[in-house]
């Protein structure tokens, strides 16, 4: 059995770039940075390492990424690794690029007013409403990742007990 599955939680390094293929299919290219923090045993100091990833989203997922994500947004991507090869036209050398092809995405925490309203296009600037007696408008029910806990909110699920008969051994 083979498995090619990637889960990444990180921040966007730039706004998603959306293009269309000649057949009209939408494709988004997303830059994502993931960081790892650890304590160096030799120096007893905190160290950090950052990896940069290229994520490719297709179709409706590409449109959703372009609509709701912007530089600095926290997001979780689930997908698969894919390596492309091509020949460099200037030097004639073979080039490689390993990317993550996104199969799903979950939005991270957001501030009030960060989702675009109808007709707002890609403008995602967070705007605080002026003090008034207006009732708050209902926002879409989209599960988000709490940055501190890295759990999904908005989805309630009871833990299921494990039975002896469910164990494969």
pLDDT digits (tens, 9 = 90+) for 16-71: 999 999 999 999 999 999 999 999 888 889 999 999 999 999 999 999 999 999 99
Please report where in the chains the tokens 């009030």 appear, as a residue: 112
> Exposure pattern of 130-141 as b/e (b: 16+ CB <10 Å)?
eeeeeeeeeeee
CA distances from 119 to 96, 113, 143 (A): 40, 14, 23
- Cβ proximity of 10 and 53 under 8 Å: yes
Higher pLDDT, 44 or 139: 44
pLDDT for residue 120 is more than 80: no
pTM greater than the 0.75 cutoff: no
Report the distance separating Cα 17 and Cα 101, nearest Å: 15
Lowest mean pLDDT among 27-31, 47-51, 102-106, 152-156: 152-156
Q: For residue 3, what pLDDT is reported?
A: 95
Nearest one of 105, 131, 124, 135 to 28, comparing CA atoms: 105
Domains and CATH numbers, the chain: 6-109+140-155 (2.40.50.140)
pLDDT for residue 122 is more than 60: no
Average pLDDT, whole number, for the chain? Answer: 78
């Amino acid at each position: 059995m083979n498995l090619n599955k990637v889960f990444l939680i990180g921040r966007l390094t730039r706004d998603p770039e959306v293009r269309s293929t000649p057949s009209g299919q939408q494709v988004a290219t997303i830059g994502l940075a993931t960081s790892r923090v650890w304590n160096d045993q030799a120096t007893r100091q905190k160290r950090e390492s950052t990896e940069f990833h290229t994520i490719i989203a297709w179709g409706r997922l590409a449109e959703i990424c372009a609509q709701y994500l912007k530089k600095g947004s926290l997001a979780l991507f689930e997908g698969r690794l894919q390596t492309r090869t091509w020949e460099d036209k200037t030097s004639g050398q073979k080039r490689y690029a390993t990317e993550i092809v996104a199969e799903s995405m979950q939005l991270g925490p957001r501030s009030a007013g960060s989702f675009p309203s109808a007709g707002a296009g890609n403008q995602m600037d967070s705007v605080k409403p002026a003090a008034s007696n207006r009732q708050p408008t209902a926002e879409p029910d989209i599960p988000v990742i709490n940055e501190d806990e890295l759990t999904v909110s908005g989805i309630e699920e009871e833990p299921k007990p494990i039975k002896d008969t469910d164990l494969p051994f």
